Every structure is written in C-alpha cells, then in structure tokens.
C-alpha cells in the first residue's frame, strides 16, 4: 500500500472516530469521579453550575493505531501527559507492559509514543500497557501508574477464504426450483465489528442458469426446472465471496462446487428388439438355456436393475425366465 492511500485511510479513520462519541482520537482526560469521556467533561452540579476538576490526572484514555503501516518513519501513536508536568523537564514518563520498549517507544521527556514496527491487527488487536510519571531526579512518583490500551485499527487487508475448495454436493435430478443443494462459507480475518472489511457477499461466477447462491447465507439452490441426469450429470459451479459488502474495491476469494445430479427412476426399461427368435433343438435338456434377452435402462444403480417375467405364452409352462444379476440379462430356460 502506498503512502498516499495510508494518508487517505488515516483521514477517513479520524473522521469516523471523531464522529462517534466516546471514541475520540484525542485522549480524554480521566476524571476523578469515575466517569470517562464526554460525560465526565461536561458535568453540572445541582444548581447548574459547571463542575471544575480540581485534581490532577492523566491526559489520555485510549490510543488507536492503523495496522500495516509501511511508512519509512515511525508511526505516531499518541502522547502521555500528566497535569503535574509543568514542562520544566523534571518529569520522566515510563512505559511498561505489552510491547513497551520494543514495539512501542516513548520519549521519556515529551511522553510521545511511537510504534517501531508495522503491526498486524489480525495477529494482535490491542496492547495493554502501563504508564507512570516520575520525577527525573528523585524518582518520586508524580502520577500513579495506570493502564491504557493501544488498539490496532483495522484495514481491509484479508480476502474472504472459503472453508473448502472444492465442495462436493448432490441433488436429485428433476428437483423443483429452489431446492437446497449445499451451503458454502467464507471467513474473513478482518475486523467484523467495524466497517465492512469482513462483510462478505456471495455471488455465482459459473453455473448459471442451473444454480443460484444466496448472497447473504451462501446457500446454493437449484435455479432451473427439469434438470435431467440422463442428459447432463455433473456441474462445476464457481462461487465468489467478496468483502466490503460486495462493493467495488472489495477483496474476493472463490471456490468450486462440484454438483452431481442424483438419479431418480424416471426411465422405463426398453428392449432393443420387439421380437426375439430362438430355436430349440428337440434334444435339449430340461433347464437348458434357450436364449438371452436384454432390456436397456437409462437410469443407473438399482433404478436400472432388471427383473424379467413371462407375461404371455402360446406354450404355457414351456419356458421360464431368470435374471442374470451381474449382466442384467434375462435367460430363457426350457421347462418342459
Ligand atoms: Ca493485517
Ligand atoms: Ca476483508
Ligand atoms: Ca485487517
Ligand atoms: Ca433417471
């Protein structure tokens, strides 16, 4: 990401936070009455006279830092300041806690904090640190130690990823329009609680007009009536998941869904010929095979398993028919 884009993002981010109460970019004064933020700054007493703080305190609350900053200079985080610091150089600010001295460096005179490295929100979203202010010469505490948080602000730097690729699914042939086939899911590592960086919308790139996908849920359904397995059995459907709620500039990922139409018994068996002719020598033994017949069936599996029966004969009881299970042929046998 280039510098200009970072600057633009920073500006947007500042605007977003300035417009949301309680999340000011500037640190808020910690008040003595246990209140935080704007409410603590604008209190009034029973007579409507504005309350004034008389006690000293820290001048910060929470810091925000944009992740994945790639500038050559160190990124400014914020400033610690104590009311007891009179600017005479007597105050020394001390930072401890997560990343203190390594990721986060403080100018012990000014209280300015900088980040020394590029930070990844998806690796760690916030850091808990502690600050204190001491007299540089006597080491006497000027301000009690207090905890504060550096929150890493999200940018959209992760594309949605499907939990599987490919997916395999089956749906009966000839299903009604809107029959559920399978639900696909893509996860986005960005912050789901802020903005649209992790807001995923599904769309179908390949597989129309046979199938459709619900943009919100990722549920794939049939979209065409009368899909016939005997005509086409397998479909490759490509689904896209796009963040930023599907808007321009969002990041995307795809997956393939291999859909097979499951067989329904919708084809009757058909004989290749309407008349078969067999000759039987007079000397044939009873039980010997006279001939073989074969009916074809466009279905598969048990829907194509045959059972032959004699339903009419001008020589009643002369012949019998059995089914060869492995070849699905009918074997005509001499009975008398
Ligand atoms: Ca990141
Ligand atoms: Ca994202
Ligand atoms: Ca991110
Ligand atoms: Ca069928």
* pLDDT for the residue numbered 213: 98
> Who surrounds ion ligand 1 at CB < 5 A?
120, 122, 157
The mean pLDDT of 70-87, rounded to a whole number, is 89
As a whole number, the mean pLDDT across the chain is: 85
Name residue, tokens 């309350």: 51
Q: Residue 244 contacts by C-beta under 8 Å, 6 or more apart in sequence?
A: 156, 196, 197, 199, 250, 251
Region of residue 19 (phi > 0: left; psi between -120 and 50: alpha; otherwise: beta): alpha
Provide, rounded to the nearest whole percent, the portion of the chain with pLDDT above 70.
Answer: 82
Q: Which ligand is nearest to the CA of 227?
A: 4
- Separation of 78 CA from ligand 2 center, angstroms? 27
Q: Count other C-beta atoms under 10 Å from residue 272's C-beta.
A: 9
Separation CA 104–CA 124 (nearest Å): 14
Which ligand is the nearest neighbour of the Cα of 233?
Answer: 4
pLDDT at 173: 98
3-class secondary structure per residue, 138-194:
CCCEEEEEEEEEEEEECCCCCCCEECCCCEEEEEECCCCCCCEEEECCEECCCCCCC
Kind of pairing between the strands at 62-66 and 141-153: parallel
Q: How many Å lie between the centroid of ligand 4 and the Cα of residue 242?
A: 37
Q: Which domains are seen in the chain, by residue range?
A: 3-39+54-153 (2.60.40.60), 161-262 (2.60.40.60), 270-334 (no CATH)
- Classify residue 246 by burial, with Cβ atoms within 10 Å: 0-12, 13-18, 19+: middle
For residues 171 and 62, the model is more confident at 171
Ligand 2 mean position to 1 CA, how many Å? 15
CA distances for 58 relative to 85, 104, 313, angstroms: 10, 19, 107
Q: Which of 262, 256, 175, 254 is nearest to 221 (CA)?
A: 175
CA of 97 to the centre of ligand 1 (A): 22
Gap from CA of 251 to ligand 2 centroid (Å): 6
Amino acid 317: pLDDT: 85
CA of 4 to the centre of ligand 3 (A): 18
Bridge partners for 104 per DSSP: 100, 115
The set of residues, in sequence order, having a beta carbon less than 8 Å from that of 138 and lying 6+ positions away, is none
Name the maximum alpha-carbon separation found in the chain.
130
Task: Name the 3-class secondary structure at 10.
Answer: helix
Kindly give, in sequence order, each residue whose CB lies less than 8 Å from that of residue 142, ignoring residues fewer than 6 positions away.
Answer: 82, 84, 85, 91, 133, 134, 135
70: helix, strand or coil: coil
Over the stretch 186-228, which tens digit does the pLDDT of each residue have? 999 999 999 999 999 999 999 999 999 999 999 999 999 999 9
**In angstroms, what is the span from residue 105 Cα to ligand 1's centroid?**
21
- Local confidence band at 57 (pLDDT 50, 70, 90 cut-offs): confident
Residues measured by CB to lie within 5 Å of ligand 4, the ion: 263-264, 266, 299
pLDDT digits (tens, 9 = 90+) for 20-45: 333 333 333 333 333 333 222 233 34
Residue 193 tokens read as: 């609680």
Q: Are 139 and 97 in contact (CB under 8 A)?
A: no
Measure 157 CA to ligand 3 centroid, in angstroms.
Answer: 5
Of the listed ligands, the closest to the CA of 197 is 2
- Condensed to tens digits (0 to 9), the pLDDT of residues 83-125 reads 888 889 899 999 999 999 999 999 999 999 999 999 999 999 9
pLDDT of residue 225: 95
The model's confidence at residue 58, banded by pLDDT at 50, 70 and 90, is confident
Average pLDDT on 149-174 reads: 97
**Ligand nearest 262 Cα, by number?**
4
Per-residue DSSP letters for 230-260? TT--EEEEEEEEESGGG-TT--EEEEEEEEE
Bridge partners (DSSP) of residue 147 are 130
The region, left, alpha or beta by phi > 0 then psi within -120 to 50, assigned to residue 317 is: left
Structure tokens at 43: 């209190």
Task: Give the predicted TM-score (pTM) of the model.
Answer: 0.74
**Integer Cα distance of 312 and 160 in angstroms:** 66
Please give the distance, rounded to the nearest whole angstrom, from the Cα atom of residue 259 to the centre of ligand 2: 28
Instruction: Tell me, in angstroms, the distance from the centre of ligand 3 to residue 290's CA.
Output: 78
Question: Which one of the ligands is nearest to 158 CA?
Answer: 2
């Amino acid at each position: 990401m280039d510098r200009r884009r970072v600057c633009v993002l920073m500006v947007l981010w500042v605007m977003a936070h300035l417009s949301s109460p309680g999340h000011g970019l500037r640190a808020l004064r910690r008040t003595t009455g246990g209140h935080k933020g704007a409410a603590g700054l604008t209190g009034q007493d029973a007579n409507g006279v504005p309350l004034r703080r008389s006690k000293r305190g820290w001048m910060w609350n929470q810091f925000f830092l944009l992740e994945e900053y790639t500038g050559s200079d160190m990124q400014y985080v914020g400033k610690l300041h104590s009311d007891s610091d009179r600017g005479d150089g007597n105050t020394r600010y001390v930072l401890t806690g997560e990343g203190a001295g390594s990721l986060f460096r403080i100018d012990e005179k000014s209280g300015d904090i900088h980040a020394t490295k590029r930070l990844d929100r998806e690796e760690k979203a916030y850091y808990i640190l502690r600050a204190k202010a001491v007299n540089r010469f006597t080491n006497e505490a000027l301000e009690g130690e207090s905890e504060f948080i550096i929150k890493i602000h999200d940018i959209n730097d992760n594309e949605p990823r499907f939990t599987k690729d490919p997916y395999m699914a089956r749906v009966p042939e000839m299903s009604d329009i809107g029959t559920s086939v399978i639900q696909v899911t893509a996860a986005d590592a960005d912050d789901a609680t802020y903005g649209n960086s992790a807001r995923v919308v599904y769309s179908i790139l390949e597989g129309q007009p046979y199938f459709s996908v619900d943009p919100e849920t990722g549920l794939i359904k049939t979209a065409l009536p009368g899909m016939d397995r005997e005509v086409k059995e397998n479909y490759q459907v490509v689904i896209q998941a796009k963040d930023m709620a599907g808007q321009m500039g969002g990041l995307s990922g795809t997956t393939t869904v291999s859909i097979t139409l499951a067989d329904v018994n919708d084809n009757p068996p058909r004989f290749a010929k309407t008349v078969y002719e067999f000759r039987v020598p007079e000397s044939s033994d009873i039980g010997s095979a006279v001939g073989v017949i074969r009916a074809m069936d466009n279905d598969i599996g048990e829907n194509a398993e045959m059972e032959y029966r004699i339903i009419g004969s001008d020589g009643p009881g002369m012949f019998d028919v059995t089914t060869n299970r492995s070849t699905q042929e009918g074997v005509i046998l001499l009975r008398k």
